[in-house]
Every structure is written in structure tokens, then in C-alpha cells.
Amino acid sequence: METDAALEAVFMPVRPASTFEETVERLGSAIRLGLLAPGSQLPPERELARRLRISRSTLRQALTALVQSGHLVAQRGRTGGTFVAEEPPLSEQAGEPLDQGAWAVLDYRVAIESGAAMLAAERGTAAQFDRLDELVAKMDDELENFEEYRRTDIRFHIGIAEAAQSPRLLSAMTDVEAQMSDLIALIAHPAEVLAISNEQHGRLVKALRKGDGSRAVRQMREHTEGTEHILAGLLPAPVRLASTT
């Protein structure tokens, strides 16, 4: 494969905490920008995991997500491997790239979701947390049906705002979810991505049950940041994420 500075950056080590989502972003962005050309082969799995400094299981999850979204193709046999699709989705600039207004929505989401998580940990009831767990279980059964998954996902996040016991926050959460639906509609919805996202939901509910507001906020930020990485990796145009370091 071509080895220039831009391509080398694709295979720099991935940060912990968001390894799956950032790997999807890194490879998806490289495909969109043409650094990984249509039909080109990725390095062998063992080598790629070593270069990214992630586990092979995490790498397989990211590669599976990109195969499911149509960015990559997995071929078996002696000449097999993982290849960039000849016509990756969004290669013709289908859809609208994110603008500053869209990133303002993502920032708004961080503020509302984090505040809701903090207050839900302080004020939520066992019955409300039981309901959130039921929604997590329901989403596990909807990974292959994005429309159903998304409807349940919206109820989950609104449920967190309800547990925060703040009518104004509930109204803001409803507004955020409506705006996020417009952004999420621009990308593919691989089942692997939904599964990772729902695992984050489950960890968030555990933190809420313990009344651990700080941990709940960290879990929520991991969740919202994961969405940002997935959007950046699968959207049709380059976007710049705010630094989280």
C-alpha cells in the first residue's frame, strides 16, 4: 500500500475508551477521502490491530460495521482479505455534509444529555430505571431493524430526562432527539454499531441505579462521543471534531 504521511495517520494508534467508534471513523474517513482507494486491500488483521494498538476483537467489530455499511468487502480464500468496496456508499457526495449548525446540535446534545444523566442519578426512581432496562432489552432485539431501534432509542433518552424530574429538561431532550434524528438519517446503520451503542446504554443505566452522577455523565459522554465518531466516519464529507483531550 502507498505510504505517505496522510495514509500513515490512518493507522496511528487509536485512543482508548472510544476504540471501536474511532476505528470506524478513521477507516471510514480514509475511504471517503480516497486515502484508501476503491478496491485496495487493508493490511492483514493481525498487523492492522498492532498498528492501531487495539484488540483484534475490537478491530473485527469495526471491520464488520464497515462491511455492513458497504464501505468494505470481506473475501475468503487464498487471495481473500478485507478490501475497500469498488463503489463505497456516499462516494458521489450523496447526502449533505455537516455544517456548523449541525455540530451546534451535537454540542447541544452533550449539554442536555449530560445534565439529564446527572439529575437522573440523583432523582430517578427504581421503577424508572426498570423501564430503561426494559428499553435496553428491547433494542437488543431490534438491531436488524433500525427504524424500530431508533424509536426505542428515543424513548430511552427521553426516559432519562423523565427520571431527571425536570419538565424543561424533558422538553429540551425531546427537541434534541428530533434534531439528532435528522443527522442520523444521513448515515448507514450497521447492526454492529447499534449493538455497541446499546451496550453503552446498559452501562449508563447501571451508573444511574447506583446514584453515581459523575460516572453516569462519563458514560453519557462516551455514548455521545461515539455518535460523533460514527457520523464523522460514515458521512459524505470531511468534518472536524472538537478535541476531547
Residues 112-150: tens digit of each pLDDT? 999 999 999 999 999 999 999 999 999 999 999 999 999
**Where do we find the cell 437488543?**
140
Q: Is 77 left (phi over 0), alpha (psi -120 to 50) or beta?
A: left
pLDDT-derived band of residue 174, with 50, 70 and 90 as boundaries? very high
> How far apart (Å, rounded) are the C-alpha atoms in residues 63 and 223?
20
Task: Tell me the pLDDT tens digit for each residue of 34-51.
Answer: 888 899 999 998 999 998
The pLDDT value recorded for residue 210 is 97
In CATH, the number for domain 100-234 is: 1.20.120.530
For residue 191, which phi and psi values (nearest 5 degrees)?
Answer: -60, -35
CATH class for the domain made up of 5-84: mainly alpha
d(CA 179, CA 53): 35
Q: What angle do CA 223, 184, 27 make, to 5 degrees?
A: 70
Report how far apart, in Å, the C-alpha atoms of 236 and of each of 110, 131, 175 are. Answer: 23, 36, 25
Q: Is the pLDDT of residue 237 over 60?
A: no
* Least confident span in 77-86, 116-125, 212-221: 77-86
pLDDT at site 94: 42
- Label residue 14 exposed, middle or buried (CB < 10 Å: 0-12, 13-18, 19+): buried
Would you say the CATH fold of 100-234 matches that of 5-84? no
Confirm if 40 and 81 have CB atoms less than 8 A apart: no
pLDDT of 16 > 80? The answer is no
- Domain layout of the chain by residue ranges: 5-84, 100-234
Confidence of residue 5 (pLDDT cuts 50, 70, 90): low
Between 77 and 157, whose confidence is greater? 157
Is the pTM for the entire model greater than 0.85? no
Could you tell me if 85 and 70 are in contact, meaning their C-beta atoms sit under 8 angstroms apart?
Answer: yes
